[in-house]
Structure 1
Amino acid sequence: MTAVQENRRDTGRNAAPGFGSVLRSEWRKFLATPANRVMLVLVFVLTIGITVLTVVFGDSAALAREQAEGEYAVIFFAGGFGTLAFAALAGNTVASEFRGPAVYTLTATPRRWRPLLAKLVIVTVLALVVGVAVAQVNFHVSQAALGAAGESTLSLGAPGMLRATLVYIPVGMAVQAVLTACAAAVLRSGAGAFVTVVLLNMLPVFTAPLLGEWWMESVPRYTYGAAVESVAGIAIPGTEGYTPTVVAVLVLGVWLAVFAAAAVTVFERRDV
């Protein structure tokens, strides 16, 4: 064997793994972490479980009145808890790296953006799958219970209903999970990232009545929560939280791009 051939063999042996290999590795790490499995179960408990408890032990007439006043109030009530739980899971998935594994991960994968991007892909895909599952189960369980009690029910065939159930919880879960994961890469804290992302969405809305008409009409509609509602078609045109669908998609894209850019920049440059 020539020196050139030997050098090529060494180079191939020492080359950084491709993104596909990193993605598979991060998926195995995700599944192997007991806390991640517990949090996934908790997401389902906090959505489907709460819906079941509500319709079994709650007042069917009161639920029907609530649904008549706001048709999405009952079917999406528990979904918000699941979205928060999944965001906490996403933040912990990234922050846990800084408690030891990151040293080994980045030794095996010197290109730091690859494991971070792999984690973001995993939480995004999981959020979409889990979000669709819990949204559809919650819809059918709640409407079946109301129908059994003789109350009026909603239909997926109603205008905008299928879009709402396929978009609101899944996309909201994915967006908040990715933002929290990116914040965790910057802050090195899952809890800190979770609180930061939640406050960035809530404060512009809660402070709007105190900051005047311009703020109320201009700022809250550009939070990621309001943008998700507009993309899902459940925001009411003319209200402070409404933006046209195309604009809402762009708003979400800006939120995700800014957080991802910050996470990659910090993750690439900072010592573990």
Structure 2
Amino acid sequence: MITILHAELIKVRHSRTLRAVLAITVGLSLGITALVTAFGGADVLAEYQAVDGGGRYEILFFGSTFGVWAYAFFAAGFAAAEFRNGMINYTFAATANRNRVLLAKAILVAAGGLIIGIVTSLINFAVTQGVLVATGHPSLSLGEPGLLRVILVFIPAQLAVWGVLAVFLGGALRVTTPTVLILLLGSLLPVLVAEFLPTAWGDTVPRWMPGALIESLAGLSVPGSPGYLQLPLAIPAVAVWLIAFAVAGLHWYRTRDV
């Protein structure tokens, strides 16, 4: 497995497209927050940070949410692009066990998401609070209640979870853009249609979607709100999403053209 992980890592290092998407992920995660904060956003940021509750921290990572979907595009392409250019034949010739190939991609995407997420979250925090200090607004410290949890969980988990889901779905569908669109629409539609469906839908379904579950993990969801779940429920629910996509993705990746 170590050999396969190393081989997949080499693919990322030598693919201009994959490296470009990774650069876009980091650029979006940091650049949008910096621009919005620097050019007129300091007042809004300070206003949100003055509100009670863990949700006030979410605005710190506004730009990073765009980076999440850029990373999902990277992850889907990491799993699917080789089928388009035919390079997957060389991979399967070197590694007969297809499951290990896709699992190696998922492991690298998860690890990369956690690392990129933590680094960009810390930089975003430093940028936003630095601008607030420079403009004379009250700033936050890492000792604020729940803030460190948000930094270590919210964006890192978003990148890792959506990235892994994109790997398994991309491996099954073997196309990049449709994979990301399916994930994006699948995450948004249950929330958007809640307004037009019975109250029971809005009170149950949206909170079980991956994005809402991660907000609960990070402590951003307010207890009692439609998106809130306690940790003993949110953690296994995220695991169920990952396992379900893994089982389906590995099956199709292994058997689709055999």
Query: Residue 31 of structure 2 is aligned with which of 31, 41, 49?
Result: 49
Q: Answer yes or no: is the 8 Å Cα contact 2:58–2:220 preserved in 1.
A: no
Greater Cα offset, 165-174 or 59-68: 59-68
Aligned partners of 2:6 and 2:78: how far apart in 1?
15
Partners of 1:221 and 1:241 within 8 A in 2: yes
Q: Is the Cα–Cα contact under 8 Å of residues 237 and 243 in structure 1 kept in the other structure?
A: yes
Match of 1:236 in 2: 222
Q: Is the 8 A contact 1:74 1:142 kept in 2?
A: no
CA distance in 2, matches of 1:171, 1:108: 32
1:72 paired with 2:57, answer yes
Correspondence 1:26-41 to 2 at 5 A: 26-41=8-23
1:61 maps to amino acid: D
Equivalent residue of 1:78, what SS?
helix
Give the 5 Å matches for 1:47-196. Answer: 47-69=29-51, 71-99=56-84, 100-196=86-182
Q: 8 Å contact 1:181–1:193 — kept in the other structure? A: no
CA RMSD of aligned residues (A): 1.2
Q: Which has the larger radius of gyration?
A: 1
Under a length normalisation based on structure 2, what TM-score does the superposition of the two structures give? 0.95
Partner Cα distance (1:124, 1:134) in 2 = 15
TM-score by length of 1: 0.90
Counterpart for residue 15 of structure 1:
none
Q: CA deviation at 1:135?
A: 0.6
For residues 102-155 of structure 1, the C-alpha deviation after alignment (integer angstroms, 9 at most, x for no partner) is 111111111110111110111110000000010110011101101111111122
Q: How far, CA to CA, are the matches of 2:66 and 2:57 in structure 1?
A: 15
Question: Does the C-alpha gap of structure 1 residues 195 and 150 become closer, same or farther in structure 2, counting only changes over 3 Å?
Answer: same
**CA positional deviation for 1:62:** 2.9
Distance, in Å, in 2 between the alignment partners of 1:58 and 1:44 is: 22
How many angstroms does 1:59 deviate by?
4.2
8 Å CA contact retained: 1:131, 1:170: yes
Mapped partners of 1:185, 1:80: distance in 2: 24
Percent of aligned pairs with the same amino acid: 39
User: 1:25 is matched with which residue?
Assistant: 7
How far off its partner does 1:26 sit?
Answer: 0.8
Decide whether aligned partners of structure 1 residues 255 and 142 sit closer, same or farther in structure 2, where only a CA change above 3 A counts: same
Which residue of 2 is the match for residue 14 of structure 1? none
Whole-angstrom distance in 1 between the partners of 2:237 and 2:215: 12
Contact 1:204 1:219 in 2 (8 A): yes
Residues in 1 aligned to 2:187 and 2:37: alpha-carbon distance in whole angstroms: 29
Count of paired positions: 254
Structure 1: how far apart are the matches of 2:140 and 2:35?
Answer: 19
Hey, what does 1:6 align to over in structure 2?
none
Which residue among 241, 251, 258 is the counterpart of 1:265? 251
CA distance in 1, matches of 2:221, 2:39: 30
Residue identity in the other structure for 2:167: A
Structure with more relative contact order (C-alpha pairs < 8 Å, separation 6 or more): 2
Q: Which residue of 2 aligns with 1:8?
A: none
Distance 1:36 1:115 in 2: 17
